[in-house]
Amino acid sequence: MFELIRKTKIDFLGKRKFAFIFSGIFSIIGVVAIVQIANGKANLGIDFAGGTSIQLKFEKTVNLHEVRKALEEGGVKDFDLQDLPTERKILIRVKKTEQELGKASDELTGLISKKFPGNKYVVDSTTEIGPKVGRKLRADAAKAVAMATLGILIYVAIRFKFDFAVGATIATFHDVLAVLAVFFLLGKEINLILVTALLTIAGYSLTDTVVVFDRIRENLRLRIKEPVEAVMNASINEVLSRTIIVSLTTLFTGVSLFLFGGEVIHDFALAIILGIIIGTYSSIFVASPVVLLWRKKRPFAKK
Amino acid sequence: MKKNILWRFILIGLTVVLALVFFLPNTPLFQYMPGWWKNNMPDKGITLGLDLQGGVHLVFEVEGDRAVYLTTERIAHSIKELLEKKKIPAEVTRDGLLLSVAPNSIDVRKAIEDSYPILTPVETGAKLVYKLSDKEANRIKETSAEQALETIRNRIDQFGVSEPTIHRQGINEIVVQLPGIKDPKRAIEIIGKTAQLEFKLVDDSAPVAAELPAALKPGEEDALLAKFAGKLPADDEILFEKSVNRETGEVSKRPILLKKQVLMTGDLLTEAKVNIDQRFNEPHVSITFNAAGAKLFEDITAANVKRRLAIVLDGNVYSAPVIQERIAGGNAQITGRFSLNEAKDLAIVLRAGALPAPVKMLQNVTVGPSLGADSIEAGKRAVIIGAILVVVFMVFYYRVSGAIADSALVLNIFLLLGAMASLNATLTLPGIAGIVLAIGMAVDSNVLMFERIREELRAGKTPRAAVDSGYNKAFWTIFDSHVTTLITAAVLFQFGTGPIKGFAVTLSLGVSINLFTALIGTKSIFDLINSRKEVRKLSI
C-alpha cells in the first residue's frame, strides 16, 4: 500500500488562532473587493462594465509601446493593452465607450492599420458590450451568486446538524472570498468567467469539508467520553490523506488547464487552482474550528 | 458470475453502445456508415459553440418607442387630413408622443374619437391632448419586434449563412448567431440597416434653398443644421447627400432642402437587384414596384415633371434626379457610388423589407476562425494531459484498484460525450474546461472509496467485507459532494449565456455520470473480482 501521508498527529485545532487571523484577513479583503466591484471601482471586465475589446494577431512582432503610442495619438482614452509576444497577439480593451457599438472597434483597427502599414494582422476576436447588456450581465451574475449560495445553504441545512452547517457554510464563503481577494490583490479582471469559477469553487468546496465532517460525526458518536477537541483533531488526522488526495486529482486537471488550456481560460484555471488549495486548507483549518467554537459557545446544544 | 453482477455489466455495456451511437456523427467514421444508418440513427452529435468554430453572437434592441413615435406622427397627419375633409377648423400639433388639437370642440372630439379609438385623452381643457393608449403602444412594440425578427431572418437567409440562429429575447431584443461567418462586419451592417426607403420632393422654390452651401466636409452637418434651424419653411427639412470625388476619393456632403412629406415608401417594392452601369462600370440597384406602387409612382412623376425627386434611404439622400417625364412601368434606380458588395447588400435589405423601427446593437461577440481553432487545440491538449496525469497518479497510488478507477474514468468520458451528443449539446471552451474538471472530480469518488476500503482493511476486515463496507460508508460523502456541485451547475445553466452555459452542461453531466460510473461501474468490477473466489490480498 503506497501512502503519501502516513499516520499523523498534528494539533490542527490548536493552531486555529493563526488560521482565523489569516483567513479573517483574506475574507475581509474579499468583502472589500465585493464593495469595490459594486461601486464599479475594481478592474471589471468589459462584460460587466461595457466596452470594447479586440484581439489582433500580427504577421510580425509588434512593439506594445508603439501600439500604445498609436492609440494615444489617435485620442483613445482609458484603454489597456496586453500582449502574448510568443504568438504575436495583442489585446486592446477600451472601457465604457460612449460611442455607438461597432464604431469603437473600427476606430481601433483603423489606428493600428495606419501605424503598422507593413505588418498585416487578423482580428482574432471582437467583443463589444453596450452599457445595457453590461448592467444585465452584472445583475445576472449577482442573481446567480445569490441563487447558488441559497441552494448550497439549503442543502447543507438539510444534510447537517446546525453546528456543522454553520462550519460548512462559513468554510464555503471563506473559499470564495479568499479567491476573490487574491484576484483583487493581483489586479486581475473581474468578469463573467471568474464568477463562473467562483461558483464552481463554492460547489466543490464542500467536497473536502464533507470528508472531514463525516469522520468527526462518526467519531463523536464512538468516543463520547473524550473531549470534543481531541476527537476532532484525531478525526482530521485520520482523514488527512484522503482530504489531500481528493483535492490532488482535481488539482492536476486544474493545472493542466492552466498550463495548456490556452489564453482564454487561463484566469479561470488559476481561480480553480486557488479554490482547490484554499478549499482543502479551509476544510481543516476553518470548517472544523468553527464547529468547535460553536459547540463551546453552547455546550448544551441538542445533538 | 453472480446474476446481478451480470445484469450490471449488461447495463453498462448498453449505455456504452448508446453513447457510441450518439457520438458517432462527431467522428469521421460516420460518413462510412450505410445509408439506412444515416437515415435512422442519430445524426446531429455535439455542435461546436461560436467560441470554438468562430462566428458572431449579436444582440439587437428593437427601438419600439421609435415605432410608437412614428405611428403617432402618422396619426397626427391623418387627423389633420380628416379635420380638413370635415371642414372643421383646428390646429393639430405633435410634441413627442403627445398629440394636441386646438381649439377643443364637441365636433373635433367626436371626429377624432370615432375614427381613432386607440387614442386616450390626456387633457381636455382648452385644447385636446391625446396619446396612444398603453395597450396600443405595447401592441406596436410587440409587433415591431416580431416584424423586425422576420425581416432580419429574411435578410440573413438572402445573405446566405448556414445554420443561423435568430430568436427573440425578452420583449424587444433579438439575438442573432451566425456560426463560421467570414465577414462579420458586412453581416452586422445588413442586419442593422433600417432600410427605410422614401421618395421626397426637393424644394428648390424656397429662397433659403439657394443659401445652402454646395458641399460640406463630413462632420460639419450638425453645425449647418443649427445655423438654418429657424429659417426653414415649416414643412421642409435638410438632408444630406454623400458624394465621393472620382479622382481623389474625397468624401463630401451636400445639403438638400426637401419637403418633409413622404410621397412613397419602399414597402411597395417587389424586386431589387444589382445592375452594372455601362458608362462608369459602376453598380447600382434597380427596383421594381408592385401594381399599386407602379400606379402611385406614375402619378407622382406625372404631377411633378421638371421637379427633382429625392431617393432617401434611412435619412440619407442617395440621388435626386430631375423628373423628365411621367414614368410608367414601375421601375426606378438607386445610384450612389456603391462598391459591388454595398450594392448587393442594399438589394438584399430592400428585398427583405424595411425594419419597422430602427435597431440598436447591444452586444457583439465575434470570434475569428483561427482563434476558435487555437482554442480547440488548447482544449484538447488540456483534456489529454489532465487525463494522463490523473490516470498515471491513480495507478501509481492505488495499483490495480487505480487501474479499475481509470477504466471507470474512460467509461465516464465515453458516456459524457454520448450524453452531450444525445442532447445535441453545444461544446464551448468553458465546456471543455468543465470536462477537464469533471475528469478530476470523477476519480474523487473512487479515492473516497479506496481510502475507506484501505481503512477497513487495516482494521482487519477481509477484502470482500472491506469493499462492501467501504462503498457503503463512502456513499453519502460522495453524494453530498456531488449534489452541491450540481446545484451550482444548475444555477450557472439558468443564468449563464452561451459559453458559460456550455460549462454548466459538461460539468453537470460529468458529475451525474460520475455518480453512475463510480457507484455501479467500479463496484461491479470489484464484485466480479471478489465473486470468483475469496481474494486474499487486494491491490489498493
**Could you tell me the CA-to-CA distances from B329 to B298, B326, B351 in Å, in that order?**
8, 10, 18
Residues of A in contact with B184 (CB under 8 A): 126
Identify the residue among B436, B443, B494 best suited for mutation to test binding to A, counting A beta carbons within 10 A and taking the highest: B436
With respect to residue A3, please indicate whether it lies within any of the assigned structural domains: no
Residues A36 and A157 placed together within one structural domain of the fold: yes
In sequence order, which residues have a C-beta less than 8 Å from that of residue B204 and are 6 or more positions away? Answer: B257, B307, B308
List per-residue pLDDT tens for chain A, 303 residues long: 666 666 788 888 888 889 999 999 999 999 999 999 888 788 888 888 889 999 998 988 888 888 898 888 888 888 888 888 778 889 998 887 666 777 788 888 888 888 888 888 988 899 999 888 888 888 888 899 889 889 988 998 888 888 899 999 999 999 999 999 999 999 999 999 999 999 999 988 888 888 889 889 889 888 888 888 899 999 999 889 888 888 899 999 999 999 999 888 899 999 999 999 999 999 999 999 999 888 776 554 444
* Type of residue numbered B371: L
Closest Cβ–Cβ partner in B360, B485, B492 for A196? B492
Does residue A145 sit within a domain? Answer: yes
Distances in Å between the Cα of B143 and the Cα atoms of B63, B66, B136, B149, B169 are 12, 13, 10, 10, 14
B454 to chain A: closest CA residue: A1
* A31 and A98 together in one domain: no
Residue type, B138: N
A200 contacts on B by Cβ (under 8 Å): 437, 485, 488, 492, 507
Domains (range + CATH), chain B: 3-53+369-532 (1.20.1640.10), 64-137 (3.30.70), 195-347 (3.30.1360.200)
**What nine digits make up the cell of A170?**
462559513
Among A4, A264, A274, A280, the strongest candidate for a mutation testing the B interface, having the largest count of B CBs within 10 A, is: A264
Q: Is-contact B405 A249, C-beta < 8 A?
A: no
Dihedral sign, Cα of residue A96, residue B189, residue B241, residue B358: negative
Quote the CA–CA distance of A47 and A139 in Å, as a whole number: 12
User: B69-108 pLDDT, tens per residue?
Assistant: 888 888 888 888 888 888 888 888 888 888 888 888 888 8
Indicate whether A70 and A105 sit together in one domain: yes
CATH number of residue A56's parent domain = 3.30.70.3400
Mutate: best of A199, A205, A217, partner B, most B CBs <10 A: A199
Q: Residue B111 in contact with residue B83, Cβ under 8 Å?
A: yes
| Together in a domain, A85 and A174 | no
Shared domain check, A276 and A204: yes
Cα Rg of chain A, angstroms: 24
- Compute the Cα dihedral for A42, A47, A48, A54 and give only its sign: positive
Chain A residues in contact with B382 by the CB 8 A cut-off are 256-257, 259-262
Tell me, yes or no, whether A186 lies in a domain: yes
Residue A190 forms beta bridges with which residues? A44
Instruction: With CB atoms and an 8 Å threshold, state whether A262 touches B51.
Output: no
Q: CB B362 to CB A130 under 8 A?
A: yes
Query: How close B384 comes to chain A (CA, Å)?
Result: 9
Per-residue pLDDT of chain B (540 residues; tens, 9 = 90+): 567 778 888 888 899 999 998 998 888 888 888 888 888 888 888 989 888 989 999 999 999 888 898 888 888 888 888 888 888 888 888 888 888 888 888 888 888 888 888 888 888 888 889 999 999 999 999 999 999 999 999 999 988 888 899 999 888 899 999 998 888 888 888 998 888 899 999 998 888 888 888 888 888 888 889 888 888 888 889 999 988 777 777 888 899 999 988 898 888 888 898 988 777 788 889 999 999 999 999 999 999 999 999 999 888 898 888 998 898 888 888 887 788 888 888 888 888 888 888 899 999 999 988 888 889 999 999 999 999 999 999 999 998 889 989 988 999 999 999 999 999 998 999 999 999 888 888 888 888 888 888 888 888 888 888 888 888 888 888 888 888 889 989 999 988 777 888 899 999 999 999 888 877 788 788 787 777 766 667 777
Distance from the Cα of B414 to chain A's closest Cα (Å) equals: 18
Non-local (6+) Cβ contacts of B119 within 8 A are B75, B99, B112, B113, B130, B131, B132, B133
- For residue B103, whether the previous peptide bond is cis, meaning omega lies within 30 degrees of 0, is yes
- The residue out of A102, A129, A156 marking a domain boundary is A129
Contact: A148, B451; criterion CB under 8 Å: no
Q: Does A84 reach chain B within 8 Å, measured CB to CB?
A: no
What is the DSSP code string of B230-273?
Answer: TTS-TTEEEEEEEEE-TTT--EEEEEEEEESS--EEGGGEEEEE
Count the domains in chain A: 2
Chain A residues close to B433, C-beta within 8 Å: 257, 261, 265, 268-269
Distance (Å) from the alpha carbon of A183 to chain B's nearest alpha carbon: 19
Q: How far apart are the first and last CA of chain B?
A: 23
Query: Considering the domain boundaries, does residue A6 fall inside one?
Result: no
Whether A250 is covered by a domain: the verdict is yes
Same domain, A239 and A94: no
**Which residues in chain A are closer than 8 Å to B500, comparing Cβ atoms?**
192-193, 196
C-alpha separations of B477 from B133, B379, B452 in Å: 60, 31, 11
Q: Is residue A184 part of a domain?
A: yes
Q: Which residues of A touch B363 (CB under 8 A)?
A: 101, 128-130, 133
Q: How far apart are CA B285 and CA B272, in angstroms?
A: 6
**Structural domain contains residue A183:** yes
* CA–CA gap between residue B188 and residue B60 (Å, rounded): 10
| Single-letter code of the amino acid located at A27 | S
The CA distance from A13 to the nearest CA of chain B, in Å, is: 22
Residues A197 and A231 in one domain: yes
Final residue in a domain of this structure, among A89, A114, A129: A129
Residue A145 corresponds to which cell in the numbers above? 451568486
CB contact under 8 A, B389 and A239: no
CATH number, residue A215: 1.20.1640.10
Q: Which of B489, B382, B381, B517 is nearest to B436 (CA)?
A: B382
Q: How far apart are CA B229 and CA B420, in angstroms?
A: 62
Three cell numbers, residue B397: 497510488
Same-domain pairing of A179 and A79: no
Q: Which of A94, A114, A129 is the last residue of a domain?
A: A129
Structural domain of residue A253, as residue ranges?
13-44+133-297
